[in-house]
Amino acid sequence: MPEVTLVDAINLVLARAMQDDPNVIVFGEDVGINGGVFRATAGLQQRFGPERVLDTPLAELLISGLCVGMASQGLKPVGEIQFMGFIYPCIDQLVNHASRLRHRTQGRLSCPMVLRAPCGAGIRAPEHHSEHTEAMLTHIPGLRVVIPSSPERAYGLLLAAIHDPDPVVFLEPTRLYRGARGLVDDNGEALSLDVAFVLREGRDVTLIGWGAILKETLAAAEALADEGISAEVIDLATLKPYDAETILASVAKTGRCVIVHEAARTGGLGAEIAALLAERGLTSLLAPVARVAGYDTVIPLPRLEQSYIPSINRIVSAARRACRFT
Name the residues annotated as catalytic. Answer: 129
CA distance linking residue 316 with residue 46, whole number of Å: 48
Residue 54 DSSP symbol: E
CA distance linking residue 76 with residue 83, whole number of Å: 21
By C-alpha distance, which of 109, 99, 107 is closest to 72?
Answer: 109
Task: Give the full edge-to-edge strand order of the sheet including 197-200.
Answer: 197-200, 231-235, 205-209, 257-264, 290-294
In one-letter notation, the amino acid at residue 239 is L
Sign of the C-alpha dihedral, residues 120, 237, 243, 72?
Answer: positive
In the chain, DSSP assigns E strands to: 3-5, 24-28, 53-55, 76-80, 114-119, 144-146, 168-173, 181-183, 197-200, 205-209, 231-235, 238-240, 257-264, 290-294
Angle ∠(154,78,25) on CA atoms, nearest 5 = 125
By the 8 A CB rule, do 86 and 115 touch? no
Pairing of strands 53-55, 24-28: parallel
By C-alpha distance, which of 93, 87, 89, 112 is closest to 102?
Answer: 112
By the 8 A CB rule, do 233 and 209 touch? yes
By the 8 A CB rule, do 116 and 80 touch? yes
